[in-house]
């Protein structure tokens, strides 16, 4: 009965109800998008870093991985020292460099990673085999496209260019042994992976026994934080960053988006609340006479309160459901915009749909709808019956 | 820069001695001088006159002892906002020596008289140079501003959603506001006032409400943008302004609000004016 009366009341002003549901839907969509933005980046980045089980990144002291061109010297000794630390199960050294693929009308420049193929976590092999040999290379699709090379082809690559003599340095011929997707790079990045020793040798004295970064894998039962501290104690020239620390640092740098999400989410919630409050209040004001008659013929106060609160909930739920659909579509659109950031890894999404977070956000909106109905309901239920009837009759 | 320039913040102990050296103008000092940015000065507790050791590697025992002669404030550069690195300005030859860079530089910045002179200089440099290439500053600006173009597109999209939400809200409120005037409209109609006058009155009233609301909104916008700027300038430690209210923004929001207010008012007024007065009275 209460539901029926509430539905009839909402249907009486159909255009007003539709407009209110639309307003709540846009607010709900915005709220959902902002929740997806606030939690998505963190989840997406943590999941990217946690791939392949590497829990610690070790970079030159005071820097973040690949944030500068600084390198760690005496890499072999550092690897041995880290392997001795309790809980460490694997150490993957990585040296970054720029390579030039020669032979075509214009040299193609690419980002090269020197890795240990046995323990690397930088790429996922899609076709072919790892660069186990000294002169082997795996390439990203973008690099293969740019050079027109295929698996099995030989490329002439160099690691440096001397502008004085106009010659390429660190030159060698390498065979493309595989096609790979690079985990921390975007699909448009031209990238290649070679053996660490090959990149170090091509780089000459400047890169001998040097690496840009170590990725460290810890045992599942080991605390990465303990291992991280042990690494920093053992190697004073490095900064060790756990996945949690890296996520916190990324969040700090991108705090703008999280705060924007929080502010816009809060505004959406307030707008939804105000809209439902206004609609229900106006609707109650228009029906004061009806409500007084209901009370006069014996309808209980709680019945009146329930009916009005149900109206608020009805508007909120209808708006939230429409907002859920609208929010998913707008999130996809907004995500496609932010994915345009240059060099963003493929695996990073700014808007990530997580059912629990989405439900919590929409539950919050419905709760605000309940709260929005309480004031007009209380006001309607506390009307003095006879005075209201007299006022309504006289006009 | 090929190697990391590390400022070993090993402050030399004798501050009194540093103060004495400070009285000597930099060009007369035997010790080399550097400038550091405000962020580093604050975080490391450094002041003009302090002496520090510069080294290319962390923990390197031997470094160049230099004296801080200036603390500089960074320019409002959006590309540096999310980067929390410190900046040290040294003499070119000193940096080349410290990091073993030889007689090399990463780039040159060339000042020209502007206009045709810039284009002519660019052509001549690229014609004679080998091993490097000259670019006009605007081309570099386009390349480095890609991130901000993405952010700008994102803001525009968010702005559109906000406008749709606020427009729906405004439309709803205006319709309700006009709907509340049922009895007044009925009385006006019974007194013999024409439908057109009733519509005009209601539209005038709704546009006044919309104008008042949008002016209040503009005021609120100024306050919140001041808050946003103060907050993010503190978070990112930059003089960059994050929110700017331009006359165009104000005109756009007021106009949009007015159009919506007038539209909603006209819609509701026409509906009310078309309803018989006694029905509006509920009789």
Residue B73, token pair as written in the block: 């404030």
SS3 call for B76: coil
In a domain, A248, yes or no: no
Shared domain for A187 and A93, answered yes or no, is yes
Which residues of chain A are within 8 Å of residue B260 when distances are taken between CB atoms?
none
Which residues of chain B are within 8 Å of residue A285 when distances are taken between CB atoms?
180
A148, A167, A168 from A102: Cα distances, Å? 12, 11, 9
In a domain, A10, yes or no: yes
Residue where a domain stops, chosen among A190, A209, A236: A236
Nearest CA of chain A to the CA of B25: how many Å? 33
Shared domain for A295 and A329, answered yes or no, is yes
d(CA A106, CA A108): 6
- The string of pLDDT tens digits covering residues A197-221 is 999 999 888 788 999 999 999 998 8
- Decide if B157 and A334 are in contact by the 8 Å CB cutoff: yes
Which residues of chain A are within 8 Å of residue B154 when distances are taken between CB atoms?
334, 337-338
Shared domain for A85 and A142, answered yes or no, is yes
Shared domain for A263 and A378, answered yes or no, is yes
Q: What is the mean pLDDT of chain B?
A: 77
- Decide if B58 and A237 are in contact by the 8 Å CB cutoff: yes
- The string of pLDDT tens digits covering residues B14-26 is 332 333 333 345 5
Residue that is written with structure tokens 């440099």 in the block: B125
In a domain, A185, yes or no: yes
Residue A393 binned pLDDT confidence (cut-offs 50, 70, 90): low
Shared domain for A31 and A79, answered yes or no, is no
- Decide if A337 and B154 are in contact by the 8 Å CB cutoff: yes
In a domain, A55, yes or no: no
Shared domain for A39 and A140, answered yes or no, is no
Which A-chain residues 131-190 have CB contacts (< 8 A) with chain B? 161-164, 166
A282 touching B, CB under 8 A?
A: yes
In a domain, A215, yes or no: yes
Shared domain for A161 and A263, answered yes or no, is no
Residue pair A165/A142 in contact by the 8 Å Cβ criterion: no
Identify the pLDDT of residue B283. 57
Cα dihedral sign, B136-B140-B146-B147: negative
Among the partner-chain residues B130, B168, B176, the one whose CB lies closest to the CB of A282 is: B176
Shared domain for A137 and A232, answered yes or no, is yes
- The string of pLDDT tens digits covering residues A53-105 is 889 999 988 788 877 778 898 999 999 999 999 989 999 999 999 899 988 77
Residue where a domain stops, chosen among A236, A270, A301: A236
User: For A130-134, what is the mean pLDDT?
Assistant: 90
Residue B171, token pair as written in the block: 């439309």
Q: What is the mean pLDDT of chain A?
A: 85
Residue A67, token pair as written in the block: 């944030």
Residue B52, token pair as written in the block: 């520090």
User: What domain range is A173 assigned to?
Assistant: 62-236
Shared domain for A33 and A70, answered yes or no, is no
Shared domain for A19 and A155, answered yes or no, is no
A354 touching B, CB under 8 A?
A: no
Opening angle at CA A384, ends A381 and A388, nearest 5: 105
Question: Which residues are CB-neighbours of B56 under 8 A, at least 6 positions away?
Answer: B3, B4, B5, B6, B98, B99, B100
Identify the pLDDT of residue A2. 67
User: What helix, strand, coil percent values describe chain A, rounded to 5?
Assistant: 55, 20, 25
Q: What is the pTM of this model?
A: 0.69
In a domain, A207, yes or no: yes
Residue that is written with structure tokens 């002439």 in the block: A156
Residue where a domain stops, chosen among A210, A236, A262: A236
- Decide if A26 and B146 are in contact by the 8 Å CB cutoff: no
Count: domains in chain A: 2
Shared domain for A296 and A192, answered yes or no, is no
Q: What is the dihedral of CA A174, A179, A181, A182, to 10 degrees?
A: -10
- Decide if B172 and A334 are in contact by the 8 Å CB cutoff: no
Shared domain for A201 and A113, answered yes or no, is yes
ipTM of the predicted structure?
Answer: 0.71
A60 touching B, CB under 8 A?
A: yes
- The string of pLDDT tens digits covering residues B93-131 is 988 888 877 888 888 888 888 778 888 888 888 887 666
Identify the pLDDT of residue B5. 41
């Amino acid at each position: 009965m209460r539901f029926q009366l509430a539905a009839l009341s909402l249907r009486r002003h159909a255009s007003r109800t539709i407009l209110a549901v639309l307003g709540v839907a846009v607010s709900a969509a915005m709220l959902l998008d902002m929740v997806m933005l606030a939690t998505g980046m963190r989840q997406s980045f943590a999941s990217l870093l946690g791939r392949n089980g590497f829990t610690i990144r070790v970079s030159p002291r005071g820097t973040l991985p690949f944030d500068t061109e600084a390198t760690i010297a005496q890499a072999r000794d550092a690897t041995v020292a880290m392997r001795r630390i309790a809980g460490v199960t694997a150490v993957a050294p990585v040296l970054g460099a720029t390579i030039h693929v020669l032979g075509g009308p214009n040299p193609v420049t690419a980002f090269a990673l020197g890795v240990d193929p046995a323990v690397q976590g930088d790429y996922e092999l899609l076709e072919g085999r790892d660069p186990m040999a000294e002169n082997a290379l795996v390439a990203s699709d973008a690099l293969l496209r740019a050079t027109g090379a295929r698996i099995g082809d030989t490329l002439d690559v160099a690691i440096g260019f001397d502008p004085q003599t106009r010659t390429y340095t660190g030159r060698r011929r390498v065979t493309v042994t595989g096609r790979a997707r690079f985990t921390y790079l975007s699909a448009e990045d031209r990238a290649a992976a070679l053996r660490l020793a090959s990149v170090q040798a091509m780089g000459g004295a400047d890169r001998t026994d040097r690496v840009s970064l170590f990725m460290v894998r810890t045992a599942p039962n080991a605390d990465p934080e303990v291992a991280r501290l042990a690494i920093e104690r053992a190697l004073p020239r490095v900064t060790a960053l756990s996945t949690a620390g890296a996520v916190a640092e990324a969040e700090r740098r991108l705090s703008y988006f999280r705060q924007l999400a929080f502010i816009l989410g809060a505004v959406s919630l307030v707008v939804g609340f105000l809209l439902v409050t206004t609609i229900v209040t106006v609707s109650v004001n228009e029906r004061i006479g009806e409500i007084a008659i209901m009370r006069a013929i014996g309808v209980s106060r709680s019945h009146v309160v329930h009916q009005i609160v149900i109206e608020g909930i009805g508007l909120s739920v209808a708006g939230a459901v429409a907002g859920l659909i609208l929010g998913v579509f707008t999130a996809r659109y907004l995500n496609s915009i932010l994915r345009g950031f240059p060099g963003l890894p493929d695996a990073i999404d700014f808007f990530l749909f997580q059912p629990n977070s989405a439900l919590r956000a929409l539950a919050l909106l419905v709760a605000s709808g309940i709260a929005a109905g309480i004031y007009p309901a209380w006001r309607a239920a506390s009307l003095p019956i006879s005075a209201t009837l007299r006022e309504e009759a006289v006009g | 820069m090929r190697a990391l320039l590390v400022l070993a913040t090993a402050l030399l102990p004798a501050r009194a001695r540093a103060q004495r050296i400070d009285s000597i103008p930099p060009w007369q000092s035997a010790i080399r001088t550097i400038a550091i940015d405000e962020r580093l000065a604050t975080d490391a507790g450094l002041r003009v006159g302090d002496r520090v050791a510069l080294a290319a590697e962390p923990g390197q025992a031997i470094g160049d002892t230099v004296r801080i002669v200036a603390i500089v404030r960074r320019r409002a550069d959006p590309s540096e906002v999310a980067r929390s690195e410190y900046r040290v300005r040294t003499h070119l030859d000193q940096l080349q020596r410290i990091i073993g860079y030889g007689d090399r530089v990463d780039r040159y910045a060339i000042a020209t008289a502007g206009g045709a002179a810039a284009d002519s200089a660019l052509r001549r440099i690229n014609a004679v140079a080998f091993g490097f290439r000259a670019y006009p500053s605007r081309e570099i600006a386009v390349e480095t501003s890609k991130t901000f173009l993405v952010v700008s597109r994102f803001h525009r999209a968010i702005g559109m959603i906000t406008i749709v939400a606020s427009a729906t809200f405004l439309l709803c409120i205006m319709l309700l506001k006009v709907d509340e005037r049922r009895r007044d409209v009925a009385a006006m109609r019974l007194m013999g006032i024409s439908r057109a006058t009733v519509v005009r009155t209601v539209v005038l009233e709704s546009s006044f409400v919309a104008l008042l609301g949008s002016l209040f909104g503009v005021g609120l916008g100024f306050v919140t943008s001041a808050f946003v700027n103060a907050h993010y300038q503190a978070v990112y430690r930059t003089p960059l302004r994050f929110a700017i209210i331009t006359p165009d923004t104000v005109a756009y929001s007021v106009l949009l609000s007015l159009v919506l207010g007038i539209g909603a008012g006209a819609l509701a007024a026409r509906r009310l004016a078309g309803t018989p007065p006694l029905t509006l009275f509920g009789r």
